[in-house]
Amino acid sequence: MKVSVIVPAYNEAGRIKSVLEAIKGADLVNHIIVVDDGSTDQTAEKVRKSGEGVELIELDQNMGKASALSRGVESAPDRTLMFLDADLKGLKSEHVDEMIRAYHEDDVDMVIGVFHKGRLNTDLSQKISPHLSGQRILSKDIWKKLDRSKAEEFGVEMALTKLSLAENLSTTKVKLTGVTHVMKEEKRGFTEGIKSRLKMYKNIIKTTFTPTGLNK
């Protein structure tokens, strides 16, 4: 059972340490890759100081989550991929192992980790729209079917969800009890955060009425 964990990170110097500690403590992780997506803070330095066992890829400029994940996938030595966000709060090693076990034991195409009892706002958001979760496990073969241009336009999570529906992939959800993340309003300030959130909701609506994210 070999799994490569990919963590895309942009200006997460204050949060990525605890995420990496949780991943490194998991029993079922084979390889860890952090893709620093052109951060302007000390994200890369924090990753270097996290110790051995973490591969760091530094992008010269901010390319967006889809591009960062793609770069990580290129470097991943394993066929099974796990995506985890760098701004998670409350993530524990047990959560990581639980998702990996669900992927193998349930014999599904994709696992989605959903926040549970971590924070009211994020719990509610993922209860309504679990397909927005960035915590996923899937194979390289499935990732290769994703149209990256659509992932960049609508968001990786929505593109993966549409791909899952189009390909009739089997999925299962794992509750990540006690886990939440930093909201957009907290990262970017209230005004910019709201703008970003509204854009996200607009993309959710838009992508519902567009062709699936499959390569032709």
Return the residue matching tokens 């994020």.
122
For the four alpha carbons of 7, 215, 79 and 26, in that order, the dihedral sign comes to positive
Domain positions in the chain: 3-208
User: What does the pLDDT profile of the chain (216 residues) look like in tens digits?
Assistant: 799 999 999 999 999 999 999 999 999 999 999 999 999 999 999 999 998 899 999 999 999 999 999 999 999 999 999 999 999 999 999 999 999 999 999 999 999 999 988 566 665 665 666 568 899 999 999 999 998 887 887 789 989 988 998 999 999 999 999 999 885 545 554 455 454 545 555 555 554 545 444 443
Q: Which of 23, 41, 24 is nearest to 83 (CA)?
A: 23
Residue of 37, 34, 29 lying closest to 62 (CA atoms):
37
What string of DSSP letters covers 151-194? Answer: HHHH-HHHHHHHHHHHHT--EEEEEEET-EE--HHHHH-HHHHH
14 token code pair? 């204050």
Among the CATH numbers 3.40.50.300, 3.90.550.10, 3.50.50.100, 3.40.50.12280, which is that of 3-208?
Answer: 3.90.550.10
